[in-house]
Amino acid sequence: MTGQVRAVRLGPKSVAALLLVSVTGFFAFSWPLLADPQSGVSHAKDAPWLFAALLPLLLGVVLATISESGIGAKAVAMVGVLAAVGAALRPLGAGTAGLEPTFFLMIVAGRVLGPGFGYVLGSVTLFASALLTGGVGPWMPFQMMTMGWVAMGAGLLPGADRLRGRAEMGMLALYGAIASFAYGFVMNLYGWPIVGGLSSGISFVPGDPLHENLVRYLAYCLATSMGWDLGRAAITVVLTLTLGPTILKALRRATRKAAFEVPVTFGGRSDGSGDGGNGSSGGEESNGSGDGETDTKTPKNRNES
């Protein structure tokens, strides 16, 4: 089996759940740009409500994917192991020039196991990381959605069944660099409307035309997070090109051996010979056991005598 093995397949319910949470996330990030200036726009005020709304939606994605894919204990274990590794890797680099090796793991896992698994893994990893580092807050569901999109995008890259070697590594490295900048660009939308004390050239102005706020937003990203995003992109590219082939082979081998999509069945023999076969000593194929064969020979020996 050389094709891509996907631990979590996307059915109609899963696609609908992903679309719902993605559309909700899009509006959650972007609605301050379109809000009326008299509405008192502030993510600080709506964050608790978004936090309460987005987590059930993310849970709905997980449940819908599990129910339609027939995911079993092996796939759940794989999600848990990779999420734990990603959560442990994140605090090792975060806080130092944006060096976050978690991005590399999410991209590789999404590539091997597909978009559904990738979205679930990305979201769960950020949730576990927040619990591990005490980073639970109103920003957490935004981070979960954004990382889910990053890993899901890796699973949607072309050539999953055919592309291998340097070409695949180059594509993943390029995607990792783009996704690293895109993650910072999207996450800035969460904090930009509520950050105070900025100069007029990069601050958010409620009620201004959309194109003027977008120009300020681009200037804000260049002035505040470009260095951080550059560090994230650099380490993602380096890890992809150096460790990527080994990690990809290991994950692909693990998914083939686990055979996530093959249900475990316990078949029995309708003629009842399975139990008798276990009791035979000579390994002969018969309708009865070895003891039964001895009983049938005994009357014959008596008649001969």
Can you tell me the mean pLDDT for 229-233? 89
* Token pair belonging to 210: 């959309």
Tens-place pLDDT, residues 12-41: 877 887 788 888 778 778 776 766 655 555
Q: Is the pLDDT of residue 172 over 70?
A: yes
Q: What pLDDT does 277 receive?
A: 45
182: three-class secondary structure by DSSP: helix
Q: Is the pLDDT of residue 159 over 60?
A: yes
Exposure of 86 in the CB half-sphere (CA atoms within 13 A): 31
Residues for the chain: how many in total?
A: 305
Least confident of 12-21, 77-86, 132-141, 284-293: 284-293
Residue 192: pLDDT band by 50, 70, 90 thresholds? Answer: confident
* Token pair belonging to 132: 């591990």
Q: What pLDDT does 165 receive?
A: 85
Q: Is the pLDDT of residue 118 over 80?
A: yes
Can you tell me the mean pLDDT for 229-235? 90
111 vs 7: CA distance, rounded Å: 12
For helices 140-155 and 165-191, the axis angle rounded to 10 degrees is: 160
Residue 192 one-letter amino acid: W
Smallest CA-to-CA distance from 131 within 62, 55, 182 is with 55
Residue 261: pLDDT band by 50, 70, 90 thresholds? Answer: low
Can you tell me the mean pLDDT for 239-255? 88
**Average pLDDT taken over every residue of the chain:** 74
Residue 276: pLDDT band by 50, 70, 90 thresholds? Answer: very low
Can you tell me the mean pLDDT for 231-241? 92
Task: Find where tokens 């559309």 sit.
Answer: 23
Q: Is the pLDDT of residue 279 over 80?
A: no
The DSSP result for 180-238, as a single string, is HHHHHHHHHHHHGGG--S--TTTS--TTS-HHHHHHHHHHHHHHHTHHHHHHHHHHHHH
Can you tell me the mean pLDDT for 62-74? 67
Smallest CA-to-CA distance from 208 within 217, 199, 198 is with 217
Q: Is the pLDDT of residue 285 over 50?
A: no
Q: Is the pLDDT of residue 6 over 50?
A: no
Between 180 and 133, name the one with better pLDDT: 180
Q: Is the pLDDT of residue 301 over 80?
A: no
Q: Is the pLDDT of residue 1 over 50?
A: no
Q: What pLDDT does 3 receive?
A: 47
Q: What pLDDT does 272 receive?
A: 47
Between 140 and 83, name the one with better pLDDT: 83
Q: Is the pLDDT of residue 44 over 80?
A: no
